[in-house]
Structure 1
């Protein structure tokens, strides 16, 4: 009788999942053979039996400029109260409008999502916030409302030791002492993505979380607040804080995977951990999103379990931001107009998508890891480095370019990529911008083919492949498999908003032929891997699609 094989190490599981879920010119990763759009899962999670609080709608009246939002110290801190929380949620997770084409009607939201499927859920953890009851609240974006999942019990004094080693006060169960505390706990419902994308869906859920983290940081900046991912807190603690570990509340419904804990504070704020909720005082039962799932993708559960962690995941970035000049933001748009107006382009005007060079360099400048929104949302070193397929930028030769976002990665990139790449600085590039031409060529056909034959990658002004420092990072800490995707999502959200503010439009591309790209640029190992593609250009608007307000008839 053969002995059972030992379970795979978490890092091996994560690396194997990544390889298994690659698309290629020879075939796509495992996914559903057919889709019935009439049977799409419910895009909105709700909890039956919770007290509800309808929030004021106020984003359109916000007068903060886009330039102010991305410039530290430009916005005076608003009070930490219900009105501020409502605006924070409206600008980060709220609806931006409704779209209709024929009989089909769908919502678009402020935070982008792969396929508009929105696996990310947001929970508010409030203590001492004026106008908002203490406890845990689930945000329902469709209604711009909070459901109170947890209400603190009568005052008591309890201390709970966490799996991360630190001690969390049970301050929900104590009289209020000290400043207010506000946190967001983010989770993912993997089935929302897996329903359409199969095994590759876990990747897309993580990219969506990066977009969501950036969306929260931008929204907080509009209020003069900070939003920072709480580092060193493990997945199990986040699950406890948000109630995701309460099996009885999700009986028969799709479970939620714990992902990110974000601290919100006025100004610079103090690092205060949330109190640990008690076992009693919870309310609500999760709704079932898909009553008749046709497929199961157990590999997603396996990689999810393998990449839980975060308790010891620290990677402080070198202080290079001080060497960068301040950004010169010229957009006159308001922050709310850009956030609410952001859309994913479905098509580009191939003949009219030429981009001025100063706009292009401004977009690249925004990707550098300054101590400003959204990259100040954590302290992790930048480990994603865009490769750019430049098609139509005025005064810039078409070709493949690179933007290494950390100076000390240059030797490794040069050694890993093709030896015949030029690594020359293009004429007119700002001295501080680490931008290099690798090869001068018309790469429209290559970009389109590599991006699953999608014309949006070739008809745009430029397309991006986000190259990550992969194998060593994931091997050292499997949780970083998630965090690398979050960084890609952060970069994607910057491109979305910066393009919108400049009169262009972006689209995230999750479908690309992984190793065909890698072979093209000379990669022969897992040392570097592309995690996300993106494209920016002049959008072609489909006038057949009508638009409706997000929350008609409602205002602050």
Structure 2
């Protein structure tokens, strides 16, 4: 990495901002009947249908946040299937008139799902050593490469690889699509961490695997097998562990026999966005040698809803409309924000970096709390940085009954529904909810030192979004991630100038209004126990 990489990233980020006077470059028209295939498959591979076992899981939602509360399951084919069923699998089919579409446990911008999942395993009961692609449509593994038996010695290992297919998002969102692919990766990381916690497992990033190593291990660099098809961008490797131990390098297989050819998702693409390839090249990660662990001296979470973890995970949805008369109970509001503090439990123990994303909230209707703008600095020095960067006339007062450990500050009191709606591309959900927020990232300083962290800042934003999604569902609420917002209009509202902070993601939470015309079906036939 060099200064040229950071310059290219800053240029991309500036170029792809939505502005009040114009939106970022995207397609001039969309033909929804020609939408890209939402499912990547590899023709010519052996498929392994995975069991459906989530209905039998007795882990509670509070157990996800209590290290050691869930006895760890053995690493087997069944437990791999359960991990994927609770993270990257379909959660429902929806129908409205002639249209039918699927939802998944991991959210996606526009429900386009650019994120692909891979399983890498050694010495697992019921699964040959090798590399597998996860086909969410069928809840099945496609065997991309099988190792010969003489390579199978040593401990049991289970790794999950994530990649992005940029065209899935670019088809609808044009140049801004790279941002959304990275947010989706963050959501997928969160979904996998919660699912692993439900099985009593830990999950960590494989720091010794850069983008090149990950691409080679997953077979994403095998050009002949992607000829004529949309390529996949390697994002990261995650490893499941049962007992804490020093991290290991990625597995090295000998005598792999590869199989499969990637399907074509869009046979007639109408546009091409070269800037996406440019920013992908500028932000490819190197090995991170110096993690910076977050502060973890917060009290354990209390008063978590006693609901089933699998139910919360699989019922996660994005609200399309909110009840504008609904008032959120203040203690639930504080609990939602408390879920965003980095503790040594799911999902934050998968993240070994000091928090760099800090929500600024538009509070509309919370009982006993003044409407207005609020800030939630998520690290010890973030408050100082934000006070210096934001408008000098902000109040920075603490709500009188706010939990002592929760760093929530009132910046300015007053109704802010119209502001929130305008900032979020005039979308009603930003004003009709109980509250909305924008996630400010520490930006210029981090990227000047490590340009590849452009991806990781978005991953952290997606991880925050996933925590809000599940916490809202557990409390009978619903969230919606918002990728369309006017970047600099939000910055100007806060008095920000320069690039020290940039907004990377918005989100909103409230009580949803369902459309009775949309019907829901189960994601899979329930006959594969």
After TM superposition, is the score higher than 0.5?
Answer: yes
Matched residue, 1:218: 194
**Equivalent of 1:201 in 177, 188, 192:** 177
Q: CA deviation at 1:313?
A: 5.9
Q: Secondary structure at the match of 2:38?
A: coil
Matched residue, 1:234: 210
**Equivalent of 2:407 in 434, 454, 458:** 434
Superposition map of 1:36-47 within 5 A: 36-47=31-42
Using the alignment, how far apart are the partners of 1:504 and 1:304 within structure 2? 36
Matched residue, 1:33: 28
Matched residue, 1:66: 61
Using the alignment, how far apart are the partners of 2:78 and 2:11 within structure 1? 46
Q: Secondary structure at the match of 1:487?
A: helix
Q: Secondary structure at the match of 1:552?
A: coil
Matched residue, 2:508: 535
* 1:467-517 Cα distance to aligned partner (Å, 9 max, x none): 000011111111100000000000000000000001100000000000011
Matched residue, 1:88: 83
Cα distance change of structure 1 residues 269 and 66 upon mapping to structure 2, 3 Å threshold: farther
Matched residue, 1:153: 148
* 1:141-200 Cα distance to aligned partner (Å, 9 max, x none): 000000000011363xxxxxxxxxxxxxxxxxx2412x2011011000000000000000
* 1:83-123 Cα distance to aligned partner (Å, 9 max, x none): 11000000000010100000000000000000000000000
Using the alignment, how far apart are the partners of 1:548 and 1:150 within structure 2? 34
**Equivalent of 2:117 in 115, 122, 131:** 122
TM-score (norm 1): 0.93
**Equivalent of 1:57 in 52, 55, 60:** 52
Q: CA deviation at 1:369?
A: 0.4
User: Are the equivalent residues in 2 in contact too, given 1:150–1:282 (CA < 8 A)?
Assistant: yes
Matched residue, 2:139: 144
Matched residue, 1:415: 388
Q: What are the ranges of 5 or more consecutive residues in structure 2 without an aligned counterpart?
A: none
TM-score (norm 2): 0.98
Matched residue, 1:273: 249
Superposition map of 1:387-398 within 5 A: 387-398=360-371
In the alignment, does 2:484 pair up with 1:511? yes
Using the alignment, how far apart are the partners of 1:524 and 1:378 within structure 2? 29
Using the alignment, how far apart are the partners of 1:377 and 1:543 within structure 2? 38
Matched residue, 1:350: 324
Using the alignment, how far apart are the partners of 1:453 and 1:542 within structure 2? 21
Matched residue, 1:498: 471
Using the alignment, how far apart are the partners of 1:325 and 1:316 within structure 2? 21
**Off by >6 Å, runs of 4+ in structure 1:** none
Q: CA deviation at 1:228?
A: 1.0
Aligned length: 528
Q: Secondary structure at the match of 2:365?
A: coil
User: Are the equivalent residues in 1 in contact too, given 2:144–2:260 (CA < 8 A)?
Assistant: yes
Using the alignment, how far apart are the partners of 2:363 and 2:290 within structure 1? 35
User: Are the equivalent residues in 2 in contact too, given 1:150–1:277 (CA < 8 A)?
Assistant: no
Matched residue, 1:341: 315
Q: Secondary structure at the match of 2:134?
A: strand
Q: CA deviation at 1:267?
A: 4.1
Using the alignment, how far apart are the partners of 1:269 and 1:87 within structure 2? 24
User: Are the equivalent residues in 2 in contact too, given 1:224–1:267 (CA < 8 A)?
Assistant: no
Matched residue, 2:127: 132
Q: CA deviation at 1:314?
A: 3.7
Superposition map of 1:107-118 within 5 A: 107-118=102-113
**Equivalent of 1:310 in 242, 265, 286:** 286
Q: Secondary structure at the match of 1:228?
A: strand
Q: Secondary structure at the match of 1:544?
A: coil
Q: Secondary structure at the match of 1:143?
A: coil
In the alignment, does 2:97 pair up with 1:102? yes
Q: What are the ranges of 5 or more consecutive residues in structure 1 without an aligned counterpart?
A: 1-6, 156-173
Using the alignment, how far apart are the partners of 1:434 and 1:193 within structure 2? 35
User: Are the equivalent residues in 1 in contact too, given 2:83–2:196 (CA < 8 A)?
Assistant: yes
Matched residue, 2:358: 385
Give RMSD over aligned pairs: 1.3
